[in-house]
Structure 1
Amino acid sequence: MCELLVGLPDVNVNGVGDWPHWLRIAITSRAERRRCPGCGGKVWLHGRAEVELVDLPCFGRPTRLVWSKQRCRCPNPTCGVITFVEHDERIAAVRAAITDRAGRWATFQVGNHGRAVSEVAKDLGCDWHTVMDAVVHHGRALIDDPKRIGITTAVGLDEVLFCRVGKFRHRAWSTQVVDVARGQLLDVVPGRDAAAGCAWFAARPVEWCEAIEWATLDLSGPYRAVFDTMIPHAVQIADPFHVVKLANHVLDECRRRVQNETLGHRGRKDDPLYRIRKLMTIAHERLDGDADAKLRGLLEAGDPRGEVRMAWHSKEVVRSIYEITDADLAAEFVTQLGIDLQDDSCPPEVQRFGRTITRWRHQIAAWHRARFTNGPTEAINNLVKRIKRVAFGISNWTNYRTRALLYAGHPNWSLLHPTPR
């Protein structure tokens, strides 16, 4: 009955002890006497060595599995092996401090459920590093599974702040490679420059890269260089959210400049332009009559040259790009819009925005052909940030990548079988 409760193959349960902080279960293996791993000959028994392993909780209490291993000695004087200790991978890995089944359970808890490593370590009654080492060990097979990354037609790139390092807290970034067609995190690479992204795509099979038809990105030059270099056949799509966000940023820059030029100070609560700073970022069709009247009246009062009004109109025109249903018409509209916004009558911020639209006109118009966005990439970024919040920050790159891919990378959890759930 005890052996049935322990649930390990080919072991004898010698005893169960009630210790102050955990249950202690003593076992020995029923395996036949092993042969020498060096020469393959018969060996002599040479005593026993006890190894204490962290095991799954038993009846709600932390448990320690004490394995009394048989030590053997090779009598062959020409053999390089003098003594060795029996080993069974089904119970625990070599030099592991945790049983195999407890390590798999901890990997599932941390990876699939997104639990904090400290919480799982508290349930097992062990050290944080014991659990994290087990998660990295068992998670490696899930992450490197060749079937995890399937064929896709659309990928996206975006960055997330990894951590702050050094005396001056310099920001270290990571780039997420995402399958936007299925909403799956494919991998995490260090930095947010083009080199790391190019290296990742170069390591993929040629046929996998050739299957990609669409590539989504925000208005990032390095990510554009990655797609231009590694998958030039894919059609690049500028994310609509980031295009409109940039238009709102241009409007805010223009408002702050006009504010300083007309009143000589930064915005204060009674200043006309400062009072409508949020109204101007709201879609015009969502404003009721009172809000629209307030917006136009305060623009008239605080914008004598009409520069902020022009920036506001340019933002609304950029939003109207995504109301067009015809792809060819949208391409012509974006091209002409980039030219019009560079007119000398426009504020300098709007002219700069027009040059940006001209550089990215093909990527902006491509959205009307595929309707893919970087939304799934941003959703994956949120999952990665959740892992960081649960961990109260991560500074070890291996731990960061492992936990992010286990949580958002869609691993095949059946590879951890048998895993208690």
Structure 2
Amino acid sequence: MPDNYDIGLPEFDVIDRKESSSGDYVYVLKLKDELKEQYKTCPQCGARMHVHKKSVRKIRDLNERGHNVGLAIQAVRYRCSNKDCGYICSEEYPSIDSGKMTIRLRESIKEDAFLAPFKEVADKYALSVPTVALLFKEKADELRKEAEVYAPRVLGIDEVHLDRKYYGVFVDIERRSIIEITKSRSKATVKAYINSLPNKENIIAVTMDMWAQYRDAVHDTLPGVPVVIDKFHVIKELNAQMDAVRASISNDIREREARTALKNNRFLLLKGTENLTPLQVQKLRELLEKYPKFSDPYDMKEIFRAIYLSESRAEAEATYEEWVRILHDEKHLTCFDSFINTVNRWHTEIFNYFDYPYTNAQTESMNNRIREIDGAGRGYSFEVLRDKMVLRPYVARRSGAVDFSVLDEDD
């Protein structure tokens, strides 16, 4: 191999590289001569040191071009020549941890443990799952010390259901990142979290779904801060009502094939018209012609959705009142009455959206990600799942992901 071969471990000289029959690389290393100078004189009495014992220390390193890599370090142990002193020491290697791997390998495993399931990382590095979990905990402990605890300008509150239990999820809506997961979504838990935030007065709005305990917790801890129910949750409620209409009408149809067809094409009635393909629009038209009882409910569903095109709160509220009037006085429909009751109960929070147009949609996306990670890990403990989600951005940033939020500072 070439002279002065560099493998990125500055304290070593590479003596040789061997390749095993299985394709593994083994580098034979020794401490650089200039670094051995410090072991010539005893730091205790000043007498000369001599070689006490030589051994080969076997260490694992990062893979190289798909090959497993091992290091065979020609380690030396020294002893003071002064018999009255008897000082003994071993060579120190800053790139090697106290176990049997390089520090850079250890750090790579720690970061991978945040970004992939423990089992996958264990298989990749030929380690046990408990070892990976231990390294993950080490990394989590490190990151927790530097993780920023702050009150975001716009706080999102949601929940995720895992293993028959609800966990609270708190999101920085503007940064699109999870900032906390709690073991409960109760009013007391939400209040305790908000009160724990430094400078909570910086919060200008809170987005959430229609869960009264969240609203009450915000009113108690952030008086005067508007609660916003974004359109995602409102349309979700509207579609649930529309689907109930579909199910009710379908139950009156005797032909089994027709009922099955309606069930299979329910998405045509629930999806926004603008999100349908030309072929799907044609199928929807045919469905409404064949089953005219769907026409008025579908049209009223789409008219309500158009409220979110309003340019002001006043316009949105006026359009909503007109929608209710048409529904009852002209169409004589009562199928959306439950939805109307929900809107009326949450009127202020729903129409706050037009003054504070923030959406909780990314929170739903993050909840799906939580479920994926929990499923891939086959049921992590709450502490592991929490650390994977809350501390993950700090790992991603160190791993080469670019933080473009600095551009926002110029706005």
TM-score, L = length of structure 2: 0.70
The residue that corresponds to 1:305 in the other structure is none
Provide the C-alpha distance between the structure 2 equivalents of 1:69 and 1:239, rounded to a whole number of angstroms. Answer: 67
Distance 1:201 1:319, change over 3 A: same
The residue that corresponds to 1:376 in the other structure is 362
- Taking the TM superposition and a 5 Å limit, the aligned residue runs for 1:186-205 are 186-205=179-198
Q: Displacement, 1:10?
A: 4.7
For the pair 1:395 / 2:383, whether they are aligned, the reply is no
The residue that corresponds to 1:353 in the other structure is 339
For the pair 1:57 / 2:34, whether they are aligned, the reply is no
5+ residue gaps in structure 2? Answer: 80-87, 401-411
The residue that corresponds to 2:83 in the other structure is none
SS in 2 for 1:244: helix
The residue that corresponds to 1:269 in the other structure is 257
Q: Displacement, 1:356?
A: 0.9
State the AA in 2 paired with 1:107.
Answer: K
Provide the C-alpha distance between the structure 2 equivalents of 1:138 and 1:71, rounded to a whole number of angstroms. Answer: 34
Provide the C-alpha distance between the structure 2 equivalents of 1:397 and 1:50, rounded to a whole number of angstroms. Answer: 42
Provide the C-alpha distance between the structure 1 equivalents of 2:116 and 2:377, rounded to a whole number of angstroms. Answer: 12
Q: Displacement, 1:244?
A: 1.1
Provide the C-alpha distance between the structure 1 equivalents of 2:324 and 2:52, rounded to a whole number of angstroms. Answer: 83
Summarize deviations over 1:249-273 as a string: whole Å, max 9, x none.
Answer: 112223334544x45x7x8332499
For the pair 1:404 / 2:409, whether they are aligned, the reply is no
Q: Is the Cα contact below 8 Å between 1:55 and 1:124 reproduced in 2?
A: no
Q: Is the Cα contact below 8 Å between 2:26 and 2:70 reproduced in 1?
A: yes
For the pair 1:214 / 2:205, whether they are aligned, the reply is yes
Root-mean-square deviation (CA, aligned residues, Å) is: 4.7
Q: Displacement, 1:365?
A: 0.8
Distance 1:241 1:414, change over 3 A: closer
State the AA in 1 paired with 2:227.
Answer: Q
Q: Is the Cα contact below 8 Å between 2:119 and 2:377 reproduced in 1?
A: no
State the AA in 2 paired with 1:387.
Answer: I
Match of 1:105 among 103, 108, 130: 108
Q: Is the Cα contact below 8 Å between 1:327 and 1:366 reproduced in 2?
A: yes
For the pair 1:142 / 2:143, whether they are aligned, the reply is yes
For the pair 1:185 / 2:178, whether they are aligned, the reply is yes
Summarize deviations over 1:322-370 as a string: whole Å, max 9, x none.
Answer: 1211222324544676799799x653x6322222111111121111112
Alignment length (residue pairs): 379
Q: Is the Cα contact below 8 Å between 1:110 and 1:117 reproduced in 2?
A: yes
Give the percent of matched residue pairs that are identical in Structure 1 and Structure 2.
20
SS in 2 for 1:174: strand
For the pair 1:325 / 2:328, whether they are aligned, the reply is no
Query: Between Structure 1 and Structure 2, which shows a larger proportion of helix residues?
Result: 2
Provide the C-alpha distance between the structure 1 equivalents of 2:178 and 2:172, rounded to a whole number of angstroms. Answer: 6
Provide the C-alpha distance between the structure 2 equivalents of 1:256 and 1:278, rounded to a whole number of angstroms. Answer: 13
Q: Is the Cα contact below 8 Å between 2:122 and 2:132 reproduced in 1?
A: yes
The residue that corresponds to 1:159 in the other structure is 159
Q: Displacement, 1:183?
A: 1.6
Provide the C-alpha distance between the structure 1 equivalents of 2:290 and 2:230, rounded to a whole number of angstroms. Answer: 33
SS in 1 for 2:182: strand
The residue that corresponds to 1:78 in the other structure is none
- Structure of higher RCO (CA pairs closer than 8 Å, 6+ residues apart): 1
Q: Displacement, 1:372?
A: 1.1
Distance 1:140 1:65, change over 3 A: farther
SS in 2 for 1:232: coil
TM-score, L = length of structure 1: 0.69
The residue that corresponds to 1:224 in the other structure is 215
Q: Is the Cα contact below 8 Å between 1:160 and 1:176 reproduced in 2?
A: yes
5+ residue gaps in structure 1? Answer: 34-39, 73-82, 165-170, 301-307, 416-421
Provide the C-alpha distance between the structure 1 equivalents of 2:28 and 2:359, rounded to a whole number of angstroms. Answer: 57
State the AA in 1 paired with 2:110.
Answer: T
Provide the C-alpha distance between the structure 1 equivalents of 2:203 and 2:284, rounded to a whole number of angstroms. Answer: 46
Provide the C-alpha distance between the structure 2 equivalents of 1:132 and 1:297, rounded to a whole number of angstroms. Answer: 58
